[in-house]
A and B are shown apart, each in its own frame.
Chain A
Amino acid sequence: MEIRIEHLNYIYGLGTSYEKKALDDISLTIRSGEFIGIIGHTGSGKSTLIQHLNGLNRASSGQIFVDGKNIYEDGYPMRQLRFRVGLVFQYPEYQIFETTVLKDICFGPKNQGLSAEEAEGRARAAMRMVGLDEHYEGKSPFELSGGQKRRVAIAGILAMNPEVLVLDEPTAGLDPKGRDDILGVLKQLHRESGITVVLVSHSMEDVADYASRIIVLDKGKVLYDDIPAKVFSHVEELESIGLAAPQVTYVMRALRGKGWDVSQDVTTQAEAADEILEVLRKAGVKC
């Protein structure tokens, strides 16, 4: 499915002294099968933006078209849209409420009107996708670790079989291993099922290795919308809005500064390693 956003504006607390423009003339298109990273500093509007994708927020002005249909038109099946665009919120604590993991994951599919058996089937499939094995089914979700709770939350959305999976800071507050695990799950999902993934984060490291397109938000505006290598070439601008390029970018820049002939388009550690080895080989070093 394709989501096209046109001149979207969103203003908080309209008509009060707290009035604040959170999104300022946003236009972009999310195409089927993409893996998009949305990056921005705290308060840049990224969470506000993604809550428009499934209709939880209603734009102050502007339009959103899903597969060509305007979602703000009267009679648009908004609830169906929520099942098609699965949104995982930042903290799993906000959605976990059932006594067992399996029941909690069943909540979404049951709301879709599926029978108990169908919902359980979907829930079990979703658990496998996020790497939770059967012995978690009967456990209380409140007893799990932070990383596992987050898997339950993601599975709860995946069980609805969404076409687009949107995640708000899925790695916030996780240790490095938990972070790599979650991001690995997403990468695998994207590769195997072809689901569109939109990953929101304030960390470049998170998205650099996984996203094929990066959207940088600043003060409610789209600053960059491009492939990672192009976005990371604006290191100074990114730093000036409180972000940073991935560490690899800095290493490669430093090497170029020392006269090494390495490419600047490298964004992941694996690519960087290959590039450095290549240069060394050219120089006649055995490695």
Chain B
Amino acid sequence: MLKDMTIGQYYPGNSLIHRLDPRVKLLGTLVFIISLFTFSSISAYALATVAVLTVVAVSRVPLRYILKGLKPIFILMLITILFNLFMTPGTAVLQIWKLKMTEEGIRFAIHMAVRLTYLIIGSSILTFTTTPNSLTDGLESGLGWMNRLHVPVHEIAMMMSIALRFIPILMDETDKIMRAQEARGADFQSGGVFHRVKAMVPLLVPLFVSAFRRANDLALAMEARGYHGGAGRTKMKPLVYHRKDWIAFLVMAGYVAAQILLRIFVKI
């Protein structure tokens, strides 16, 4: 059950996208998302589609795998679309009881659906092709300027990478505990809400106990190796921009330029 979640997971590979500097990919994702919300014409979406499909093809992550990540968001998306359909004021197209479906609503709902889908696909490509470690490395060095504003960038990045690192471990542990309790006849699937919440106790108690034990061990192991926070800490693999990263920046600039040109010259 838990293993079916693909969103936010790393998909091992050695494609060009996998090898790009994480800062490039972070900025790229950010630029792409901003472009989705600034340029909202048919031609702009067409260009975004081409861009997404190209990146997916280059990354060699199966499209099927990426689309599977959309599943958990589906309900959220449906609610957003329905709200937009019926709550946007404008010319009524269809009226069901007191609910008015408006022309503006339909247009807005389509926009929202496209944006949300691309938003998720865009950010999934980032997480699929970047290991959590290099992602936090990228964040740490990309946001290094915030240190001057007394934001503890290193500490936040370290917490993030530890949290990310522990997600698969805790998922795995949850699975094991579920099995151990199922072997004793525990039933997590059936029954009403109250029953199900109660059935979670034999799962959550061992999970918390083990999470605290792990946190303790990790803190000890870090201190034993002389960890004292970010100041003066060197990297084993410092982030350096290579040629392919500069080219990627150029491609990004090209994408933004193309969007602006479309906005000016193509009016659909």
Interface residues of A (CB under 8 A from B): 13, 16-17, 51, 54, 56, 79, 82-83, 86-89, 93-97, 107-108, 111-112, 142, 156-157, 160
Contacts and interface: CB of A to CB of B under 8 A. Distances in A.
A16 B206 CA distance: 30
B177 interface: yes
B183 A82 contact: yes
Closest 9 CB pairs of A and B: A111-B185, A97-B205, A108-B184, A95-B180, A87-B183, A94-B180, A89-B180, A97-B202, A94-B177
B11 A17 contact: yes
Contacts of B216: none
Contacts of B79: none
Contact of B183 (A13, A54, A96): A54
A51 B182 CA distance: 11
Given A95-B180, A97-B201, A97-B202, A82 B210 contact: no
A88 B179 CA distance: 10
29 contacts: A13-B3, A17-B11, A17-B12, A51-B179, A54-B183, A56-B183, A79-B187, A86-B183, A89-B179, A89-B180, A93-B206, A93-B209, A93-B213, A94-B206, A95-B181, A95-B184, A97-B205, A107-B181, A107-B184, A107-B185, A108-B185, A111-B184, A111-B187, A112-B185, A156-B184, A157-B183, A157-B184, A160-B184, A160-B185
Which among B11, B180, B181, B206 has the highest number of chain A CB atoms within 10 Å?
A: B180
Interface residues of B, number: 23
A31 to B, nearest CB: 22
Contacts of B185: 79, 82-83, 107-108, 111-112, 160
Interface string B193-219: 000000001100110011001000000
B266 interface: no
Given A82-B182, A156-B184, 5 more contacts: A17-B11, A17-B12, A95-B181, A97-B206, A107-B186
Contacts of B213: 93
Contact of A111 (B12, B176, B186): B186
Given A13-B3, A17-B11, A94 B184 contact: no
A95 B12 contact: no
A97 B239 CA distance: 45
A156 B3 CA distance: 28
Nearest to B181: A95
A89 B176 contact: yes
A95 B11 contact: no
A64 to B, nearest CB: 16
A83 B184 CA distance: 7
B206 A96 contact: yes
A161 B186 CA distance: 16
